[in-house]
Amino acid sequence: MMLNPNERSGKRSKMEMEKGSDDEMPDFTKAVPVDVLSHILTFLTIDEAIRSSILSKKWKNAWRNTKHIELVEKKMMKPLTQLLLSRQPAETTKATLKNGPSRYALLVYRIMFRHYGDLDSCRILHLWKSLMYGEVQSWVQHLLRTKKGVQKLSLECEPDDGEMKQYYISKEDFPKLHFSIGVLETLESLELINYTIRCSNGFVGCDILTTLKLEKINLDDVTLNDILDNCEVLENFTLKDSTGFNKLIIMNETLQVLKLQGLCVDELQVSCEDLELLLLDSIICPTNAATIYTPNLTTFSSYCYSLFGNMDAVKEGYSIVKACEILAHSAKAYPSSSIFQNLSTLSMDLDLNYIRDAQDLSSVLQLCTSLQVLEICLPDFENPIIGSSNDYDLPYPMSMFWEKQELCHCVNEKLKFVHMKAFKGKELEVEFVKYLIAKATMMKKVTIFCNDKIEDAETMFSSLPTASTNLSINFKVNAK
């Protein structure tokens, strides 16, 4: 008697399943608490978290209780579109691909509906068409309305690789991120990346928003000022690689951390009484139009080289703001106040092998009387806008520059730690280290980072008499 192939296959499958059940590996996740599993899943995008259900029965619904959800449209839409295409005739392929974002929008709502635990944070990385169709705004409104505990939200529009230019003639016509009044008022932290914003309505009532990051945002002066005015208790603000505004005036009594990176403005004014940390990275602005009033500032980082290669063309007459310039100009603008009396940590990029940069550092040490930690990064390339030259008429040999400098209060009585990165062992930078060894009475450690071992300098420094009895000099080769 011959068996039907399907029946034989079915019996074989049943036998294999029974055999497999005897040899089944034990589920080691049974002893792991559900809240721990949920925490592990927060490090995955939502599609990965859901697929992890096959690992264990205990994992099946663990994603529904995660405190964080990360939705990545491109990763979710592709398998969804492939599944739909496999069920449709070939002539509908083009239409299905075109409607991919709309189908993805429905999937987002289903995921939000099936997630029944408390949600603290959410990140959405989407395609620009979802912004054009208004889906992003709908997701956010639905999320914040149905999940009352959401404190942190991150939205990012993926780069379109030039596709948007096929739909829009000018950048002003690009789809804009626009929220209705008060939509974001329940958030404590918000991150927006790669958008055009022309309306601040969504920020109305943001009375508890303490952290705001705007990156690759195009917005005008009015919108930017309105956003900052609505965030009355803002403590941490980052503005990076953004355009569209001409003036950047930040006056906030609650701000503690301010990071400005890759910006080009006509005027920069920072007046924040409680600001503790300030980062200025590749800021293009007229020197005499940049001032800061931050009497409680403790940490200041200023870089001229790090983002320069990625920035737009520099306007004629403008230059990248240097730490020494903004410190000196601010001190003149507020002569009656000791605005840097609390500054204890300073990080800046300088090429100490050039007299002009050495003079800048000398001026900074005179201004910052309470400085205890100094970090200097020597650039690997010459910035053509900043320029470097040793064509200076000095009444003494260039190698004697640091020896001839007037001893300042900072070096003599305050400075404790110095970090020098990309050290090359050239004459002027070697002389600066010798200056610290001979003059800094409170110095505890000088750490020198270099690409190659510089034995001559190391031997020389260790043989010099030190002003501080606790000084140690450490060389770190190929370390970052």
Give me the tens of pLDDT residue by residue for the chain, a chain 480 residues long. Answer: 454 545 544 444 544 444 444 455 666 566 666 666 666 666 666 666 666 666 666 666 677 778 888 888 877 755 444 434 344 444 443 444 344 456 667 778 888 888 787 889 999 999 888 888 889 999 999 899 988 889 999 999 987 655 555 554 445 567 889 999 999 999 999 999 999 999 999 999 999 999 999 999 999 999 999 999 999 999 999 999 999 999 999 999 999 999 999 999 999 999 999 999 999 999 999 888 999 999 999 999 999 877 654 555 456 567 788 888 899 888 888 876 677 889 999 999 988 888 888 999 999 999 899 999 999 987 765 555 444 555 567 778 888 899 888 888 999 999 999 999 988 888 999 999 999 999 999 999 999 998 777 888 888 898 999 999 999 999 998 766
Q: What residues have CB less than 8 Å from 166, skipping those under 6 apart?
A: none
Task: Classify residue 142 by burial, with Cβ atoms within 10 Å: 0-12, 13-18, 19+.
Answer: middle
The amino acid present at 369, given as its one-letter code, is T
CB 448 within 8 A of CB 418: no
**What element of type H or E holds 327?**
helix 323-333
* DSSP codes, 423-460: ----HHHHHHHHHHHHH-TT--EEEEEESS--HHHHHH
Alpha-carbon gap, residue 303 to 322, rounded angstroms: 7
The two three-digit tokens of residue 242, written as one number:
């953004």
Best CA proximity match to 326, nearest among 357, 283, 295, 358? 283
Alpha-carbon gap, residue 157 to 177, rounded angstroms: 10
The full set of domain ranges for the chain reads 32-160, 344-382+396-480
CB 447 within 8 A of CB 418: yes
The amino acid present at 175, given as its one-letter code, is P
DSSP letter, residue 313: P
CB 379 within 8 A of CB 349: yes
CB 153 within 8 A of CB 176: no
Q: What residues have CB less than 8 Å from 106, skipping those under 6 apart?
A: none
Write down the pLDDT at residue 309. 47
Helix 427-439 vs helix 355-367: crossing angle, to nearest 10: 20
Neighbours of 229 (CB within 10 A): 13
| Torsion angle of C-alpha atoms 40, 45, 46, 51, degrees rounded to 10 | -80
The two three-digit tokens of residue 403, written as one number:
């020896």
pTM value is: 0.82
Length of the chain: 480
**What element of type H or E holds 16?**
helix 5-22
Q: What residues have CB less than 8 Å from 271, skipping those under 6 apart?
A: 250, 251, 292, 293, 294
- Please give the distance of CA 264 from its chain centroid, rounded to a whole number: 18
**What element of type H or E holds 122?**
strand 121-126
Exposed e or buried b per residue across 281-313, where buried means at least 16 C-beta atoms within 10 angstroms of its C-beta: bbbbbeeeebbbbbbebbbbbbbbbebbeebee
In terms of DSSP H, where are the helices of 73-220?
73-86, 93-98, 100-114, 128-132, 135-146
Alpha-carbon gap, residue 299 to 419, rounded angstroms: 15
* DSSP codes, 241-294: S-BS-SEEEEE-SS--EEEEEEEE-SEEEEE-TT--EEEEEEEEE-GGGEEEE-
Alpha-carbon gap, residue 394 to 445, rounded angstroms: 31
The pairs formed by 171-177 with CB atoms below 8 angstroms and a separation of 24 or more are 171/196, 171/218, 175/128, 175/131, 175/132, 177/131, 177/136, 177/137
**What element of type H or E holds 361?**
helix 355-367
Task: Classify residue 152 by burial, with Cβ atoms within 10 Å: 0-12, 13-18, 19+.
Answer: middle
Task: Classify residue 145 by burial, with Cβ atoms within 10 Å: 0-12, 13-18, 19+.
Answer: exposed
CB 333 within 8 A of CB 376: no
